Amino acid sequence: MATAKQQRRKRSSRRTARWPGILLLAAVLAAGLAWYLRETLMDQAVAGAAFGARMSCSCRYIGGRDLNDCRKDFVPGMGMIRLREDRDAQSITASFPLLASQTATYRQGQGCLLEPWTR
């Protein structure tokens, strides 16, 4: 007959043995959800990058503000958008890491124009 200590140890080892399976199941579910929502995620990433590029270009080259100050114009949820400036070309590239990148270029008399959307 097993002692109480041995029974507790047995139950504890069974619980510990379940964790790899639970983590694997969570990873598979997360990957499946990302695959299912991939079109929506890509569309939102492209739209967010385009909005960030266009607004930041206008802020920088029309408004004359510092690029870091232009981030104040972003709407909530755009915290992951990264900005890069090309002063020679007078353009701003906004990117959503690993998913999308868009560039807006200032043209005298036309304002800031987005490059054609690509996916």
**Tens digit of each residue's pLDDT (9 = 90 or more) over 8-53:** 666 666 666 788 888 999 999 999 988 888 888 888 899 999 999 9
Strand segments, DSSP code E, in the chain are 82-86, 91-96, 100-107, 111-114
Beta bridge partners of 85: 92
**Tens digit of each residue's pLDDT (9 = 90 or more) over 50-89:** 999 999 999 999 999 999 999 998 988 888 999 999 999 9
Beta bridge partners of 82: 95
Domain ranges of the chain: 38-112
